[in-house]
């Protein structure tokens, strides 16, 4: 399935957001996620089905002052 991940095209054989995160190396990372501009909390990622053409944003928390 063709997706956009952080602005880059990705061709992934996944069904859910959780599967995509694992396949793209974000598996254990503490990140925030959004699909098509809508925030998806950690607890809903395994049940959040992806569709062809979805846009996914993965953001890592930043530290600093």
Q: The domain that contains 24 carries what CATH number?
A: 3.10.20.30
Q: Are 56 and 17 within 8 A, CB to CB? A: yes
pLDDT by residue, tens only, the chain of 65 residues? 999 999 999 999 999 999 999 999 998 889 999 999 999 999 999 999 999 999 999 998 876 66
pLDDT for residue 27 = 84
Residue 16 pairs in a beta bridge with 49
Q: Can you give the pTM of this predicted structure?
A: 0.91
Asked whether residue 7 is domain-assigned, the answer is: yes
Asked whether residue 41 is domain-assigned, the answer is: yes
Asked whether residue 64 is domain-assigned, the answer is: no
pLDDT for residue 60 = 86
Asked whether residue 65 is domain-assigned, the answer is: no
pLDDT for residue 65 = 62
Domain count along the chain: 1
Give the containing element (helix H, strand E) for 22.
Answer: helix 17-23
């Amino acid at each position: 399935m063709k997706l956009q991940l952080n602005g880059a095209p990705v061709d992934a054989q996944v069904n859910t957001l959780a599967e995509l995160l694992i396949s793209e190396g974000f598996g254990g990372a503490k990140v925030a996620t959004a699909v098509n501009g809508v925030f998806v909390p950690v607890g809903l990622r395994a049940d959040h089905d992806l569709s062809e053409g979805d846009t996914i944003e993965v953001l890592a928390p930043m530290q600093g002052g």
